[in-house]
Amino acid sequence: MARQIKAEKNLNSRQIRDAEATQAVILAAAEEEFAKHGLTSARTEAIAKKTGVAKSMIYYYFKDKEGLYQAVLERSHSDLLQTSQQLDLDHLSPEAALEKFLTALLDCVSRNPKLPLIMFHEAVQNQGKYYKRSSSLSIDTKLVKILERGVATGVFRKLDPFQSAINIMGTCLFYFVGAGNIQQHPQGKRLLSKAMLEQHAQEAIALILAGVRNP
């Protein structure tokens, strides 16, 4: 955005200088590209083209494609990581904790719908080797703990906490995989519109809470 303004103020000189703006633009475009293609089949040329800046700027700021990828990973996970760390759930009932956890998770991914896709590619293609102290792992164990507590207390069914944690994550995140594919709701609403995202959050939470509760 800052870049845009400078560009207008300075129309006859194509070489705008704004390090932060340039990096931001590159990161945004890279996030899109990596979300769609993952590290290996993402194209630096495609990223450069989307930004309008020269391809060499990528190497200037991020060293190489891998460096850019790591920057994108960090940036796109930081929100989720921070949010999950701020959640303190131990003083809540298992059911309340689970709902709070899911709300926070769905909130994060609704704000950044590309995140699940990035996670997916990273998991499948690279076996998560670019997650050092993986944010998604730490979030997963948080969920397992909630489920364990609920089963022990008897408010949740006798379910396997480990398996169920994976399945619950799937319920929340799979939607975003389909989003690029399905595009159109029968009624013609986009899957990533604000209304649909909110509905997804509601539906997912309802399905999961009903699914784990002890009848």
Partner DNA sequence: GTCTATACGAGGATAGAC
Partner DNA sequence: GTCTATCCTCGTATAGAC
Measured in degrees and rounded to the nearest 5, phi and psi for residue 10 equal: -140, 55
Residue 213 bridge partners (DSSP): 156
d(CA 180, CA 57): 29
Using the rule CB under 7 A, which residue among 9, 12, 14, 186 binds DNA? 14
The amino acid at 38: G
Residues 164-183 that bind its own copies (CB under 8 A): 164, 166-175, 177-178, 180-183
Residues 55-84 that bind DNA (CB under 7 A): 55-57, 59-60, 63-66
Residues 103-112: b if buried by 16+ CB within 10 A, e if exposed: ebbbebbbeb
* Site for its own copies contains 38 (CB under 8 A): yes
* Site for its own copies contains 108 (CB under 8 A): no
User: Which partner from the list its own copies, DNA, none does 19 bind, CB cut-off 5 to 8 Å by kind?
Assistant: DNA
Do residues 34 and 72 make contact, with C-beta atoms less than 8 angstroms apart?
yes
User: Which partner from the list its own copies, DNA, none does 53 bind, CB cut-off 5 to 8 Å by kind?
Assistant: DNA
Q: Closer CB to its own copies, residue 53 or residue 212?
A: 212
Helix (H, G, I), strand (E, B) or coil at 168: helix
The residues, any chain, with a CB within 8 Å of residue 191's CB and separated by 6 or more, are: 175, 178, 179, 182, 183, 185, 200
The amino acid at 182: I
Q: Closer CB to DNA, residue 42 or residue 143?
A: 42
* Site for its own copies contains 188 (CB under 8 A): no
> In the bound complex, what is the minimum distance in angstroms from residue 103's beta carbon to its own copies?
16
> In the bound complex, what is the minimum distance in angstroms from residue 120's beta carbon to its own copies?
6
Q: How many CB atoms lie within 10 A of CB 17?
A: 9
d(CA 54, CA 59): 10
Residues that bind its own copies (CB under 8 A): 35-38, 40-41, 117, 120-121, 123-125, 127-128, 157, 159-160, 162-164, 166-175, 177-178, 180-183, 185-186, 199-200, 203-204, 206-208, 210-213, 215
Residues that bind DNA (CB under 7 A): 14-19, 21-22, 42-45, 52-57, 59-60, 63-66
